[in-house]
Amino acid sequence: MFSRVFSPVALENLEEITDNFEETINFEKKIYKKIRSRQWAEVVNIYREHFDQAHKVMAMLRETVVHLAIAHGSEDIVEELVKIIDDNKDRFKNVLQYKNDQGDTPLHVAASTGSLSTCVCIAEADPSMGNERNKEGKSPLFLAALLGRTEIFFHLHSICESHLDTSYYRKEDDLAYRILLLHGELATCVDENGILPIHLLAEKPSAFRSGCHLGWWSIIIYHWTPVDVPKKIDKSLTRPLNKRREQKFPENHQTCVSFIQLLWRWTIIQVGEIKKIKETHRLSVKIMKLCIKPISVEHYFDGGTNPWLTRYEDEDLSFIAAYRAIVSEYDIHPQEEKETPILSAAENGIKEMVIGILHKFPMAIHDETRDGKNIVLLAAKYRRTQVYELFRKLKAIYGLKHIMNSMPQGFLHLSNNAGKTPGEIFMEKHKTLVKKGGKWLIETSNACSIVAGLFVTVAFNMSTTVPGDVDDNGYPRLEKELAFNMFAISSYVSFYSSLLAVIMFLAILTSGYKESSFRSTLPMKLLLALTAFYVSIASTAICFSAAHFFILR
Structural domain includes residue 76:
yes
Host domain of residue 512 = 431-552
For residues 355 and 473, state if they share a domain: no
Co-location of 115 and 258 in the same domain: no
d(CA 316, CA 308): 12
Quote the number of domains for the chain: 3
Could you give the percent of the chain with pLDDT greater than 90?
Answer: 0
Three-state secondary structure readout of 367-398: CCCCCCCCHHHHHHHCCCHHHHHHHHHHHHHH
The one-letter code for the residue type at 19 is: D
Mean pLDDT for the stretch of residues 294-306: 60
Q: Are both 345 and 215 inside the same structural domain?
A: yes
- Please list, residue by residue across 405-429, b when 16 or more beta carbons sit within 10 angstroms of its beta carbon and e when fewer do: eeeeeeeeeeeeeeeeebeeebeee
Lowest mean pLDDT among 71-80, 175-184, 411-420: 411-420
| Range with the poorest average pLDDT among 111-120, 194-203, 444-453 | 194-203
241 pLDDT above the threshold of 70 = no
Tell me, what's the pLDDT at 253? Answer: 47
Please report, for the domain that includes residue 134, its CATH number: 1.25.40.20
What mean pLDDT, rounded, does the chain reach? Answer: 72
d(CA 168, CA 149): 11
Residues ≥6 apart with Cβ < 8 Å to 69: 35, 40, 43, 77, 78, 81
pLDDT digits (tens, 9 = 90+) for 67-76: 888 877 678 8
Last residue of a domain, one of 163, 186, 221: 163
- Cα 545 to Cα 160, 491, 493, distances in angstroms: 65, 11, 15
pLDDT over threshold 70, residue 409 = no
Phi then psi dihedrals of residue 476, to 5 deg: -60, 140
Same domain, 67 and 151: yes
pLDDT at 246 over 50: no
Other CB atoms within 10 Å distance of the CB of residue 393:
15
Task: Give the model confidence (pLDDT) of 274-295 as tens digits.
Answer: 888 888 888 888 888 888 888 7
Domain identity same for 241 and 103: no
Residue 407 in this model has a pLDDT that exceeds 70: no
Q: How many other β-carbons are positioned within 10 Å of the β-carbon of residue 141?
A: 25
Q: Is 378 exposed, middle or buried (0-12, 13-18, 19+ CB in 10 A)?
A: buried
Backbone phi and psi for residue 470, each to the nearest 5 degrees, phi listed first: -115, 160
What CA–CA distance (Å, rounded) separates 306 from 197? 15
Is this prediction's pTM over 0.85? no
- 325-343 residue pLDDT tens: 555 555 545 445 567 888 8
Judgement on whether residues 157 and 226 belong to the same structural domain of the protein: no
234 lies in the same domain as 364: yes
Any domain includes 186: no
What is the pLDDT confidence band of residue 170, given thresholds at 50, 70 and 90?
Answer: very low
Torsion of CA 39, 42, 44, 45, to 10 degrees: 180
Based on C-alpha coordinates, what's the Rg of the chain?
A: 36
Identify the pLDDT of residue 244. Answer: 38
Question: For the segment 100-141, what is each residue's pLDDT rounded down to a tens digit?
Answer: 888 888 888 888 887 888 888 888 888 877 778 888 888 888
Which residues have C-beta within 8 Å of that of residue 117, sequence separation ≥ 6?
Answer: 75, 79
- 74 in the same domain as 218: no
Euclidean distance between CA atoms 351 and 369, whole angstroms: 18
Same-domain pairing of 53 and 140: yes
pLDDT for 73 equals: 62
